[in-house]
Structure formats: structure tokens, C-alpha cells
Structure 1
């Protein structure tokens, strides 16, 4: 029983160190961009050693990947929270779209997920991050909204991918000053047309 406490303490210390590295890296990636951020900058901002960084992350790219994953999980959690209460599938897609726009207002999130993410990690890695967090629930939402029509899995995946791209483009435009209401309404129209076919 006494041996569990040091193990838990070591795990807690490890988790705290990892979180400190992620927080410092996120701040620098947002402020300076991936290319201009060095690992010495990150460990200095985190108040840790390079050894601590490399204990948790293979390199700067792996660290950026972890930051992007955490951001994507946070966005997905915001969407799930907004759509948790007894909505129809169609309304959940629309409410989820608005929740996505709100979640993407978090400072730096556009840069991390929509600009630097694809440039640093590549399209396939970002698609895998999205698939692990939001793609599956988006596919499920579309399938439920289109019931009783059964949509083949490949078509459902393509529909979710295209709708996701529309959300991303709208988030970029909103970040540049476009109306959130206008884009939410327009996405709603797109959803209505997509699921009524």
C-alpha cells in the first residue's frame, strides 16, 4: 500500500511536467509560430530542462502533434457539451456547428489547428487527429439525421469530410471578421440540404 503512493506521486509529477511543457509550447507556437519556436525556448518558458522535454516528446514536431491533439480534444469536448441535451440529430449538427465556431475563438486555436497544423504535421496527420476526436461523431450525426436512409460508410465519410471542411473555412472567415450568425445560418442551410437528400 505504501508503494502505491510514490508511484502515484511520480505519475502526478510526470503529468504535471508534461502539462507544463504542453502549455509553454502552445503559448510559443501561438505567439511565434512553429518555425520560430525552438526547444530551448520551450524548456525555458516551462522552467524545465531539455532532458524533461525529451523524456516526454521525441522532438519538437512530436510536441506540436501533442498540442494539436489536446486542442482538438478541447474543441470536440465543447461541441459534445453543447449538443448533450435532447436535440434532434439535425439540430445537433447545427448547434454543434455553432459550438465549433465558438470553440475556435480560443486565441491561437485557428493558427494551431487550421494553419500551422496542416503545414507542420501534414494533411493525413491532421485528418487522423480529427478522426480521433470529431469525425466519428460528425459521421454518426449525419447518419442519424438521414435515417431511415442508410448511407454507405464511404459516402458518409466523404459527407463528414466535406462538412468539416466547410466548418473550417467558415471558422477562418469568422476569424477574419465575418459574421458568425451568417455562417451558422448558412451552414444550417447546407446541413438541411445535405440530410434531406
Structure 2
């Protein structure tokens, strides 16, 4: 029995260390950028050793990927929470778009996911992170909203990719001071026209 308690404590300690590294790295990646953040800076900010960092992450790029994954998961969770009510598929797409804009407004997310993410990890790796989070549900939402018309999988993927790109561009413009309401309304019009075809 005591051995199980000890293992749980080790696991909790490991999770706490990992979270501290991720939190410190996120703060530095947001304030300084990936290129100007060193692993010694990260461990110093986390109050840990380099050994602790390398126990959890292969290198700085792997650490950045983990930060990006955590941010993408948080965005997807915000969208899912906002669309969990009894909405029609079309309404869910519109509410989800607004939830995306709000979630991306969280300090640092634009830089991590839309600016530094593709530069550090590459387009394909960022697409894989997106696919593991919001992309699948976006495709499902589009398919449901376009029903009863059957949409070929490759066309569905293309529609989701284009709509996702529109969401990203809107989030960038909103971060630069554009009206969230205007973009939410405009994306809503785009969704209406897309699903009525």
C-alpha cells in the first residue's frame, strides 16, 4: 500500500515539475520570443535544474511544442464549452468562431500559435497540433451543418482548412485592434453562405 502512495507522490511531483517548466517557458516565449529564450533562462524562471528540464523535454523545440499543444488544447476546450448547449450545427459554427476569437485573445496565444508556432515547428507540425484539437470538430460541424448534402472527405477537409485560415486571420486582425463584433458577424455571414450551398 505504501509503495502505491509513494508512486502517486512521485507522479504528482513529476507533474508539478513539468507544469512549472511549461509555465516558465510559456512566459518567456511570449515575452521574449522563441529565438531569444534559452533553456538556462527557462530553468532559472522555473526555479529548477537543467536536468529537470531535459528529463521532461528532449530540447527547447520539444518544450515549445508542448507549450503550443497546451495552448491549442485550451482553445479547443473553450470552443467546446461554448458550443455544448443545444445549438443547431450552423449556430454552433458561429458560436464556436466567436469562442475562438475570445480564446485567442488570451495574452500570448496569437504569438505562440499563429506567429512563432509555424516558424519554429513548421506548418505541418502546427497543422497536426490543430488536427488533434479543433480541426476534427470543425470538420464534423461543417458536415453536420451542410447535411443532408454529403460532402466528400477531401472537400470537407479543404472547407475546414479555409474556414480555419479565415478564423486565424480574423484573430490576427482583432489582436491588432479590429472589432471582434464585426469579424464575428462577418464570419457568421461566411458560414451562412458556405453551408447553404
TM-score by length of 1: 0.99
Residue 2 of structure 1 and its aligned partner are, at CA, apart by 1.7
- Which residue of structure 2 lines up, in the alignment, with residue 108 of structure 1? 108
CA shift, 1:28, in A, is 0.1
Q: How does 1:34-73 map to 2 (within 5 A)?
A: 34-73=34-73
2:147 corresponds to 1:147: yes
Distance 2:50 2:122 in 1: 26
Q: Which residue of 1 aligns with 2:175?
A: 175
- Give the distance between the partners of 2:62 and 2:17, measured in 1 at CA: 16
Aligned to 2:120: 120
- Corresponding residue for residue 16 of structure 1: 16
Write the mapping of 1:79-118 to structure 2, written as runs, cut at 5 A.
79-118=79-118
Unaligned runs of 5+ in 2: none
Residue 138 (structure 2) aligns with: 138
Q: CA RMSD in A?
A: 0.4
Deviations 1:56-110 (A, max 9, x none): 0000000000000000000000000000000000000000000000001100000
Distance apart, 1:3 and its partner CA: 1.1
- Following the alignment from structure 2 to structure 1, what is the Cα–Cα distance between the partners of residues 82 and 149? 26
Distance in 2 of aligned mates of 1:131 and 1:196: 25
Secondary structure in 1 matching 2:2 = coil
- After superposing on structure 2, the runs of 4+ consecutive aligned residues of structure 1 that deviate more than 3 Å are none
Partner Cα separation in structure 2 for residue 10 and residue 2 of structure 1: 12
TM-score, scaled to structure 2: 0.99
Aligned to 1:196: 196
Distance 2:29 2:105 in 1: 16
Give the distance between the partners of 1:20 and 1:195, measured in 2 at CA: 44
For structure 1, the residue ranges without an aligned partner over 5 or more in a row are none
